[in-house]
Chain A
Amino acid sequence: MKMRYLIPLVIFAALVGLFAVGLGLDPRSVPSPLIDKPAPAFALPQLHSPETTLGRADLMQNKVSLFNVWASWCVACRQEHPFLMQLSRGGEVPIYGLNYKDERADALAWLQRHGNPYRASAFDYEGRVGIDWGVYGVPETFVVDAQGTIRYKHIGPLTPQVWRDTIQPIVHQLQGKTS
């Protein structure tokens, strides 16, 4: 008979548990179906030299590289930019850019002002390569290995913490280092 009074308590506890899990999830980070799949092929004019193209093959020349989607209109990109600069100065991993739905002049001016951490940036004016890569929220950062496989995708600004805890271990592993 006393068990009856415990039922609402149990239901309440179950709800609290569900809400606690739900609050910890980020609805903006949608799992990408592209992880561990071949990166979508592309060939786009480079931002700095439109007559040269940048493509998947360029990324594959490295054991591992970062492919960072950015735009001059993107506020969160400015937030992550100092860290990308720091990362590129360290030379630990080559960073390539996908300049997403931007005006060339704006993008060039933005890099001029804040520094250019990229070996090269592909200029995706219409955002079609962005669609192929499943980009929906700039900035996004992909980890691509030498086989051209996407090993990881980070949505939102890259922070030292995300780098240290998640991306750096993957990069080290692909570079054959024991970290």
Chain B
Amino acid sequence: MRKWLAAMLLLGFHGIAAAAISSYQFETAEQEARFNQLSQELRCLVCQNQNLADSNAGLALDLRRQIHEMILAGKTDADIVNFMTERYGDFVLYRPPLRGSTLVLWVGPFLLLLGGAAVLTLIVRRRMAAGEEAPLSDEERQRLETMVRERGEKQ
């Protein structure tokens, strides 16, 4: 019952979300797909951690209108992305282009990952090298046997 209710709720919300996006009319389904794709990849500058599709800020509405008009006017995706970056800079792109200033952004995580892997290998290697345990002396073996025997008697 509860699962069913949750599913119905989800369906309901899904309808609302879809309605917010597709309030624009397109000539083809392909145009609409491009619109959805673009508005998800462009950042809303007012509420900086949302994309244009998710945001209801006035500017996001205007920029969605702009994308819609440009798509209907036959502009390519590259044209539209250019239009946005000319005005708002690379910041509007959730996928910034690879260039000098964004190199750290693109390569940094992989460098950190490599560094982590290197440290890990180093530690594991060292442990393995130190892992050749020295054999027990006679005295130690006797102590071990007594301990095992005592434990066995208790149980």
Instruction: Give residues in A with beta carbon < 8 Å to B.
Output: 27-28, 30-34, 101, 126-128, 130-137
Contacts and interface: CB of A to CB of B under 8 A. Distances in A.
B62 interface: yes
Contacts, number: 40
11 contacts: A31-B91, A32-B89, A33-B87, A101-B62, A130-B62, A131-B87, A132-B87, A133-B87, A134-B88, A136-B46, A136-B59
B59 A127 contact: yes
Judged by DSSP, the binding face of A is: loop
Chain B interface size, under 10 / 10 to 19 / 20 to 34 / 35 or more: 10 to 19
Interface of B: 45-46, 48, 58-59, 62-63, 66, 85-89, 91
A53 to B, nearest CB: 21
A61 B86 CA distance: 26
A127 B89 CA distance: 18
B85 A33 contact: yes
The 9 closest A-B pairs by CB, nearest first: A136-B45, A134-B87, A33-B89, A30-B91, A127-B62, A134-B88, A136-B59, A136-B46, A31-B89
B58 A136 contact: no
A30 B44 CA distance: 12
B86 A30 contact: no
B62 A27 contact: no
Given A31-B91, A127-B62, 4 more contacts: A33-B87, A33-B89, A131-B63, A132-B87
A31 B62 CA distance: 21
Contacts of A136: 45-46, 59, 88
Nearest to B48: A27
A31 B45 CA distance: 12
A133 B86 CA distance: 9
A33 B59 contact: no
Nearest to A37: B86
Nearest to B92: A30
